[in-house]
Structure formats: structure tokens, C-alpha cells
Amino acid sequence: MVIFGMMFYLFAGLTLLSAFLTLIARAPVHSALWLIFMFLNGAGLFVLLGSELLAMIFVIVYVGAVAVLFLFVVMMIKPQREVLKKEIKWYKRIPVLIGIFFGSEMVFILGGWSFVPVASTLDQLPSRVQISNTTAIGNILYTHYAVLFEIAGFILLGAMVGAIVLTKRAPKERYRQKMSDQVLEKKKNRIKICHVDIRKGV
């Protein structure tokens, strides 16, 4: 039990630390790396809770896919640090305020947390002892929440199509002969008849 507690504080502390470092790191690459470290620690916390599936998903999805993509993007963008810094300076104070607000709130709430007696009966998850939690999640996700699972699919579809639509630019106009346009061109669009007085110009 002691080791369990120690591991919890280790992971939790490292999560907080790396989250903090993500924010203050100067180079974007460092930020991304700290983010990855934070995800790993988060996965560790899940392992401690006994939900190894979520821990694996955390690592695979967030670290393997999201964060690595971040790194790619970061490497492709040339950051203009000095310009950004001046503008951002003032705004830095606001997150601090929000952080203090949220932190004190969490202390306030969790300090005296207790469950309503009825609450435990409403719990949808089966007991962890009997089946593995992969099975449990599978059971509930594909039966009870099957519809929501489908909606999530739609959300991803929407996000994907949206991303493509928004990033796709129309191909640049190439100077090419368009027969149909030439044939269909009207006189009035092209030719303007002016009655010019002598020695006045147009």
C-alpha cells in the first residue's frame, strides 16, 4: 500500500510538473515533449487505478498519434518568437488567475466530498473483480452506449471532412485557353463604343 501511495504521488507530481513545464517552455518542441511526458504520467495514474485499457489508449492515442502530430506541425512552423512574446505578455496573467480559481475550487469540493447513498446504485460499471476492464468497457460501450458510439463516429467524420474542406484551396488559375468561354463571350462584355470628340481624348 505504501508503494501504491508513493507511486501515486510520483505520477501525480510529475504530471503537474510536466504540465507546468509545457506551459513555460520556450521552444515549442520542448513544450510538445513535456506534453508527451505528461500523458505518460497520466497513463501511469490509470494503471494505478487498475484500468490498464485506458492507460494503453492514453499512450497509443495521445502520445503515439496526437503528440507526435504536434511535433510534426511544430517542426514545420517557423515560430516568430519575439513578436508573439510582446503580445502574449499581458495575457499571461489571466491563466494564472483562472488556475488559482480552479485550484481553490478543487480543494474546496474535494475536501469534503462524500457520495449520496443512492449514487452507488446508479453506477453503470460492473464490478472489477469478475471481468477484466477491457471486457467491461466493451460490454457497456457496445450495448448501453451503442448509439453514442455511433454519434462519436459521426463527429469524427464531420471533423475529418471539415478539416479537408477548410484546408483545401482552389487550384490557382492557370492561363489556359478555354474554348467554351471564348465562343460564348458576348460583344457587350468586351467592346465599349465611345463617341470621342475631336482633340478631346476619351
Partner 1 sequence: MGTILRDLLCFIPELTLGGLILIFLGGAVFLKKETQGSVLFGKVMFGVLGMVGILVLLQNLEPLYIFNRLFISDTYTIFVKVLVLSITICIYSFSFSSLKSEKVIGVELYVFILMALLGMFMVIGSNDFLSFYLGMELQNIAFYVLVSFKKDSLKNNEAAIKYFILGVVASGIFLFGASLLYGAVGSLNFQDIGNVLGASTLESSSGIPYALFGAGVGLLFIMVSFLFKVSIVPFHMWAPDVYEGSPLPIVAFLAFAPKVVILSVILRLWALLFSETTVFVASSVLKVFPPMIMGASLLSIIVGTFGAFGQSNIKRFLAYTGISHMGFVVLGISLGNYSGMHAALVYLLSYIIMGIGFFASLGALRYPPGFSRIGIVKDLSDLKGLSKTHPGMSFSLAILMISFAGLPPLIGFFSKLYLLLSLIETGFVGIAILGGLSSVVAAVYYLRIVKDLYFEDAEVSLEVVTPLSFFIPLFLSLGGTVFFCIYAEPVLLYVSILMKMLLGR
Where on the phi/psi map is residue 165: left (φ > 0), alpha (ψ -120 to 50), or beta?
Answer: alpha
Q: What share of the chain is helix, strand, coil (3-state, %, to 5)?
A: 75, 0, 25
Interhelix angle 81-91/93-111, nearest 10 degrees: 50
Residue 122 makes contact with partner 1 by CB under 8 A: yes
Mask of contacts with partner 1, 16-55, x by CB under 8 A? ----------------------------------------
Total Cβ atoms within 10 A of residue 18? 21
Considering beta carbons, is residue 23 or 27 the nearer one to partner 1? 23
> What torsion, rounded to 10 degrees, do the Cα atoms 126, 139, 153, 48 define?
50
d(Cα 14, Cα 156) in Å, to the nearest integer?
32
Question: Could you tell me which of 46, 51, 48 has the C-alpha nearest to residue 4?
Answer: 48
Smallest separation, CB 148 to partner 1 (Å): 5
Binding pattern for the stretch 142-161 against partner 1, x by CB under 8 A and - elsewhere? --xxxxx--xx-xx-xxx-x
CB of 6 to partner 1, least distance (A): 25
Contact between 86 and partner 1 per CB under 8 A: no
121 binds partner 1, rule: CB under 8 A: yes
Per CB under 8 A, does 109 bind partner 1?
A: yes
User: Which residues form the interface with partner 1 (CB under 8 A)?
Assistant: 105, 109, 112-124, 144-148, 151-152, 154-155, 157-159, 161-162, 165-166, 169
